[in-house]
Structure 1
């Protein structure tokens, strides 16, 4: 039996419905551009575009919701992106108890991808 990598353990150890939400995002993000790669950096799942930091997945401590952190989030104007105390990154909270807002996520990721061209 193959040994699980730390990135796989990260997803599998989560409780439902957070686990399903994160697993969906894990598959969804790389499908937005063939140049997106998944890596285990800084103890979290990170996605790179052309070798540059693109976004990551994490769970908000206060809200206990999964979120997508966007490396260039400060350059994207979207009402649902939270700045909080970050200089550059912004986050998109995902409520795992509701339907995942696929169109919204796709639109924000598309805008983020355009910043890397």
Structure 2
């Protein structure tokens, strides 16, 4: 079993479900992504460059999907969180039911265009 899988399956149920759902959407939309374990969290790489991390925050109760080039994204600004970060903007999910797949897919596709 890969270290990313071990990390995900050790998460409490709420976080595990969110992580597994996010991973399935990312991999469906961009099959070329590589999911690695970097800086203690799952991190997607696209074309060998940092693309998006998935970071559970147990204290505050959410999973952050942080896009490495988030400040270059133009669409979906009402949903992206930038707070005190220079380059990363993220989609933040407190529950599995909070995930709007249409917005998630739109952000993933826009972010991928930045890597062409």
Q: Normalization by structure 1: what TM-score?
A: 0.88
* Matching of residue 95 in structure 1 with residue 94 in structure 2: yes
2:30 pairs with 15, 27, 33, which one? Answer: 33
Residue matched to 1:48: 45
Matches within 5 A, 1:10-89: 10-60=7-57, 63-77=60-74, 78-89=77-88
1:64-114 CA distance string (max 9 Å, x none): 111200000001132111111110011110131525211110001111011
Residue correspondences, number: 114
Q: Normalization by structure 2: what TM-score?
A: 0.88
Q: Structure 2 unaligned segments of length 5 or more: list them.
A: none
The alpha carbon displacement at 1:62 in A equals 5.3
Larger radius of gyration: 1
CA shift in 2, pair 1:53/1:97, >3 Å: closer
Q: Secondary structure at the match of 2:111?
A: helix
Q: Say which structure is richer in helix.
A: 2
Q: Secondary structure at the match of 1:17?
A: helix
> Whose RCO is larger (CA < 8 A, sep 6+)?
2
RMSD: 1.6
